[in-house]
Homo-oligomer: A and B are copies of this chain.
Amino acid sequence: MSERILDFLRRRDADGPCVVVDLDIVRDNYETFAKALPDTSVYYAVKANPDPAILNLLESLGSSFDCASVGEIEMVLATGADAARISYGNTIKKERDIARAYQLGVRLFAVDCVEEVEKIARVAAGSKVFCRVLCDGVGAEWPLSRKFGCDPAMAPDVLEFAHQNGLTAHGVSFHVGSQQANLGAWDLALAMAAGVFQEMALRGIELKMVNMGGGFPTRYLKDVPGVPSYGEAIFGSLTKHFGNRLPSTIIEPGRGMVGNAGLIEAEVVLISKKSAEDEVRWVYLDIGKFHGLAETMDEAIRYPIRTPRDGDVTAPCVLAGPTCDSVDVMYEKTPYELPVSLSIGDKVLIEACGAYTTTYSSVGFNGFAPLASFVI
């Protein structure tokens, strides 16, 4: 728990929930990634938290950036970073957005089908493309759908098509699933990537880069392996599958870079029961799914919560947000243990909220303001 954040919160007296991110922790995280994977370029996944102070810090540390849109590309360029440090990593791009990115200097694009290659060939000639391949995501707390990437068997055709259309077939990307705690997931994915490299070599095209995506976990309630363990496992798998012809590599940490750097302070608005016989209390906070805690969807992410009554006897409760929307319930299938003495008006601290909170917030559902954010 960051003393700097606690100190900031002690001095704040505005109403409403807020998230506070500690830049010292972001710096530590960046350095941990850089040390664990010294030959790998770090492309921060801007979507996790695009706060300008975070982008400025990472720019100064030498990070590169994975962007989902022209909007994010512009945010990164505003830090003074050169466009060569940007990857336009979204496989779904309008042709005019590709053209705008190209005009801004971006030369590295993600694809997963020939239709996307066609757009890039038309408006971003000579750029490098990497093909995202599907990966099953076993072991991830937030396994990915089939939305991004193609079957590994189709990737060589996509890359060869790029090569034939004036682009550089640069490499392969995958994503093992968010909050991935299974170190073996990278091994399977790297074996698949090596297979694509071999097939391309047979076709006379030399790929150069493997983008290993994100998925590095933040510690929520359950313990997760540390970044050094990931570095070791990944380096071992690279050597195993690529031998002494190691490709250049990229990682795209988002949650792993900022997740544990942020803390949300919220207030208990109401504690009640639905009937005299109910065992389980309902605890309503002034923040919920629509104002920052969207990742509690399907109870996927279980945030650690501190209360001023910690240490007292606990009992299970359903945790819900403040809106008039019945889906705005965070933990119900698996109730959350909180102190019996918890009271209306208490402030609670929700840990590991630096990623995927501010931008997931709605613009103003139910008339509540978007999540306030401070980066210190």
- Known contacts A90-B324, A361-B363, A362-B361; decide if A69 and B270 are in contact (CB<8 Å): no
Contacts A359-B364, A363-B359 given; indicate if A144 touches B326 (C-beta within 8 A): yes
A94 touches B359 (CB 8 A): no
Interface size class of A (residues with CB under 8 A): 35 or more
Q: Which of A22-30, A31-39, A147-155, A190-198 makes up part of the contact surface?
A: A147-155
| Pairwise interchain contact B365-A273, C-beta atoms closer than 8 A | no
Q: Is the interface of A mostly helix, strand, loop or mixed?
A: loop
Partner of A358, one of B45, B46, B145, B363: B363
Determine the distance from Cα of A359 to Cα of B361 in the docked complex, in whole angstroms: 10
Closest CB in chain B relative to A103 CB, distance in Å: 15
Return chain B residues, CB-CB under 8 Å to A363.
358-359, 361-363, 370
Q: Decide if A90 touches B329 in the complex (CB within 8 Å).
A: no
Q: State how many angstroms separate the Cβ of A212 from the closest Cβ of chain B.
A: 16
A47 adjacent to B90 (CB under 8 Å): no
Q: CB of A184 within 8 A of chain B?
A: no
Chain B residues with CB below 8 A from A154, complex form: 274-276
Copies in the complex: 2
A216 at the interface (CB under 8 A from B): no
- Could you say which residues of chain B place their CB within 8 Å of the CB of A275? 150-151, 153-154
- Cβ–Cβ < 8 Å partners of A368 in chain B: 69, 71
- Are B71 and A369 in contact, CB atoms less than 8 angstroms apart? yes
The reply to whether A47 and B151 contact each other, CB–CB distance below 8 Å, is: no
Residues on B with beta carbons closer than 8 Å to the beta carbon of A45? 324
Q: Which of B46, B329, B362 contacts A145 (CB 8 A)?
A: B329
CA distance A35 to B15 in the complex (A): 43
Q: Is A96 among interface residues, defined by CB-CB distance under 8 A?
A: yes
Give the residue name and chain of the B residue nearest to A146 (CB).
B274
**Contact residues, A48-91 vs B (CB, 8 A):** 50, 67-75, 89-91
**A positions within 8 Å CB-CB of B:** 15, 45-47, 50, 67-75, 89-96, 112-116, 119, 134, 142, 144-151, 153-154, 157, 267, 269-276, 282, 284, 286, 290, 297, 320, 322-329, 332, 344-345, 358-370
